[in-house]
Amino acid sequence: MDREKEAAEVAAVQGRLVERFPQLGPEVVEAAVRLAHSELTGDIRDFVPVLVEHAARDRLSAIADRDPASDPSKS
């Protein structure tokens, strides 16, 4: 993604968040968006395995909770 497109998408996110959290004011939302964006300036691919692990674990836990027979540790 080029920087112009990224900037446009981040601005859109900020706009949506201003609408969602009007009680906080646009300055607070802008600060939160800037902070979040600054935390993602590194090589995000480094975190993909961890994120995949968390998402898969959450999904598998949900499946196991709905169907106890699918959890081999409960046999």
In the block, tokens 């590194």 appear at 42
- Asked if the structure places residue 75 within a domain, the reply is no
Q: Give me the helices (H) in 1-75, please.
A: 3-20, 26-38, 48-66
Q: Which of 18-22, 33-37, 52-56, 67-71 has the highest mean pLDDT?
A: 18-22
pLDDT score recorded for residue 73: 54
- Asked if the structure places residue 40 within a domain, the reply is yes
Burial (Cβ within 10 Å: 0-12, 13-18, ≥19) of residue 29: buried
- Asked if the structure places residue 50 within a domain, the reply is yes
DSSP state of 42: S
Q: What is the pTM of this model?
A: 0.55
Cα–Cα distance for residue pair 56/50, rounded to 1 Å: 10
The model's pLDDT over 6-50, given as tens digits with 9 standing for 90+, comes to 788 888 888 988 888 788 888 887 888 787 777 666 655 444 454
In terms of residue numbers, what domain contains 7?
A: 3-70
Cα–Cα distance for residue pair 25/43, rounded to 1 Å: 31
